Structure 1
Amino acid sequence: MRAWLKIFLIGLALWAASVLVTIWTENSNLIPTVVLLGSFLVPVTFVVWAYTRERSSEVTVELLFKAFVIGGVLGVLGASILESYLQPSLIMYAGVGLIEEGVKLAALMLLTRGLRRHDVWDGVVLGATVGFGFAAFESAGYAFNALFTNEGLSVVQVVETEILRGVLAPVGHGLWTAIVGGVLFSAGGRLAGRVILAYLGVSLLHALWDSMSGLAIAITLLLTGQPWQFQLIRIGKVPGVTDGQVHLYTVLNWGGLIVISALALLWLRSISRRAR
């Protein structure tokens, strides 16, 4: 059995067992185990998959560990500090994309500055590792926040959050930083023009991803909105919606996420092909 699959299956079994025992015994001491296992399982699995696909003398296990932990922590800390200055608005999504992709790129450049050789696939692997480290620590935060509800602690909401973020993790932070990492290493590790363009490109994908729910709502209202709904919006009230609007919103939201993911995967595939 392949190493990445073995890690995933064992980790999934341990996470499921932790969830069941936590619910059965109502032992809150097990909640950190559920949060950490669920948040780190998919990111670690994909890092191992990328590392074992094509090994390189430059990419060591020690460097991968540094990229995942140090890169991930530096990324979430830097993003938290910078994003605290953003005000809620449509521009906020663009700001979040630029900030988070920027701090991940900075962390990747910091951790790989001493490499003697810059193979493009190595850049993809290390970029993905930094991105998945960021995603793991960020997901742990979301899972922790989901724990607290008006009715008390909710392990079910933690599980739902971790499943959703685990399913989406492969086409999120890890993918975007893998793209920038490949372009960065194609430029010899220097902040060349094509690296800046790649950074701006993935920041745009990131912003579109984060804002897709709002865009789906806006498009749904634009296509199917009724006069009474717009009147309520004008006076600051939330209008009711029809079943058809709910279905259209769902299609637009998930369809948009699929298109964004497909574009990013095609971009990464193009980079990987040139690397070979």
Structure 2
Amino acid sequence: MRYQSAGPATSRAPRRSWLRIFGVGLLLWVLTVVVTFATGNPNLVPTLVLLGSFLVPVTFVAWAFGRQHSGEVTAELLLNTFVTGGVLGVLGASLLETYLLHPSPGLFFGVGLVEEAVKLAALAFLTRRLTRKFAVDGMILGAAVGFGFAAFESAGYAFTALFTEHGLSLVDLVQTEILRGLLAPVGHGLWTAILGGVLFSASDHRHFALTRRLLLSYLGVSVLHALWDSMHGIALTLTLLLTGTPTQSQLLQEGYQVQPTPLQANLFTILSWGGLAVLALVGVAWLLLERRGASRGTQSGVLWRVPTVRM
């Protein structure tokens, strides 16, 4: 009787499939952009919006699928969490933000609390029947919900960017898709992956870890989310504090737009993008720490390598 690990051999194909998904999807998106600009055919706009909004989220979910832990994460479950979880998250966030939040200095923190709560609730609801819950699988399924949320949200932003005061703007639509596609890996998917790992971190691997650590992680992720959304305003405030003049302050208080100096424009760009980079690094480092802790907790051999028997 001979034992052989089924891990690396069986996971090789899924681990490479994300490259093909991204390559083919990117080619189709570029072709759609070119043909849409060349023909001006408005019927191609939905195709452009969907391809651009879903390309990066789907790619990252496929990449994560090849790194599952226990085999509990099936393709059907992953698709269900991506689509259903994403839609439930978007709908729930829209309802709660409409009726609970109002313009105020704490608006972005409220948005972070609401959106992270609905994504976490959607994840728990869709995975409640899993018989074994491992932290690594929770990260993957959490990322699926988060990327689903990001994909549907990006589709909305891209569609809205199409309409300008000068008419339809394909340039604004494409720019919005490129920007949100570049930022997608360090946004919703990352934050919900962190919460998913904590939710699935119970020692018995049978129940959700509804602990103080989950609450603190939820609050921490919500703060990252709020800072991310408000980074434009934070950068603007810091720029004015560091380089603003009394004349500019007076004009702003009277409700006038202020023309920034070249120094202020450059400083604002550095602060806004630098702030987003710092938040992204914090989120990635947090996820890596959760991943390392999950690995240490499962090195006893339980389902880390599923053996197959050869007679």
| Length-normalised TM-score, structure 1 | 0.98
State whether structure 2 residue 122 is matched by structure 1 residue 103: no
Which of the residues 118, 128, 132 maps onto 1:117? 132
Give the SS at the match of 1:90.
Answer: coil
State whether structure 2 residue 256 is matched by structure 1 residue 242: no
Quick one: distance in 1 between partners of 2:172 and 2:89? Answer: 26
**Partner of residue 91, structure 1:** 106
Shift of 1:27: 1.1
Cα deviation digits, residues 147-176 of structure 1 (max 9, x gap): 112222211111110000000000000000
State whether structure 2 residue 211 is matched by structure 1 residue 192: yes
Quick one: distance in 2 between partners of 1:67 and 1:173? Answer: 14
Segment of structure 1 superposing worse, 80-89 or 57-66: 80-89
**Partner of residue 154, structure 1:** 169
**Partner of residue 82, structure 1:** 96
Aligned-partner residue type, residue 84 of structure 2: I
Query: Higher relative CO (CA 8 A, sep ≥ 6), structure 1 or 2?
Result: 2
Shift of 1:55: 5.1
Contact 2:162 / 2:168 at 8 angstroms: preserved in 1? Answer: yes
**Partner of residue 62, structure 1:** 76
**Partner of residue 309, structure 2:** none
Quick one: distance in 2 between partners of 1:130 and 1:78? Answer: 13
Aligned-partner residue type, residue 191 of structure 1: L
**Partner of residue 51, structure 2:** 37
Q: Which has the larger radius of gyration?
A: 2
Contact 2:142 / 2:189 at 8 angstroms: preserved in 1? Answer: yes
Quick one: distance in 2 between partners of 1:150 and 1:185? Answer: 48
**Partner of residue 22, structure 1:** 36
Quick one: distance in 2 between partners of 1:95 and 1:46? Answer: 27
Cα deviation digits, residues 45-100 of structure 1 (max 9, x gap): 00000011235321000100110000000000000011113222221000000000
Quick one: distance in 1 between partners of 2:118 and 2:125? Answer: 10
Quick one: distance in 1 between partners of 2:170 and 2:276? Answer: 27
Aligned-partner residue type, residue 42 of structure 1: V
Contact 2:147 / 2:188 at 8 angstroms: preserved in 1? Answer: yes
Quick one: distance in 2 between partners of 1:171 and 1:159? Answer: 20
**Partner of residue 128, structure 1:** 143
Cα deviation digits, residues 94-143 of structure 1 (max 9, x gap): 00000000000000000111111111100000000000000000000000
Quick one: distance in 1 between partners of 2:195 and 2:161? Answer: 31
Aligned-partner residue type, residue 199 of structure 1: Y
Quick one: distance in 2 between partners of 1:156 and 1:242? Answer: 27
Quick one: distance in 1 between partners of 2:221 and 2:108? Answer: 13
Quick one: distance in 1 between partners of 2:210 and 2:152? Answer: 26
Paired positions, count: 276
Quick one: distance in 1 between partners of 2:181 and 2:129? Answer: 32
Structure 1 runs not aligned, ≥5 long: none
Contact 2:57 / 2:151 at 8 angstroms: preserved in 1? Answer: yes
**Partner of residue 86, structure 2:** 72
**Partner of residue 222, structure 2:** 203
**Partner of residue 251, structure 2:** 232
Matches within 5 A, 1:204-223: 204-223=223-242
**Partner of residue 26, structure 2:** 12
Contact 2:57 / 2:184 at 8 angstroms: preserved in 1? Answer: yes
**Partner of residue 273, structure 2:** 254
Shift of 1:199: 0.6
Quick one: distance in 1 between partners of 2:69 and 2:80? Answer: 17
Identity %: 63
- Deviating above 3 A after TM superposition, structure 1's stretches of 4 or more consecutive aligned residues are none
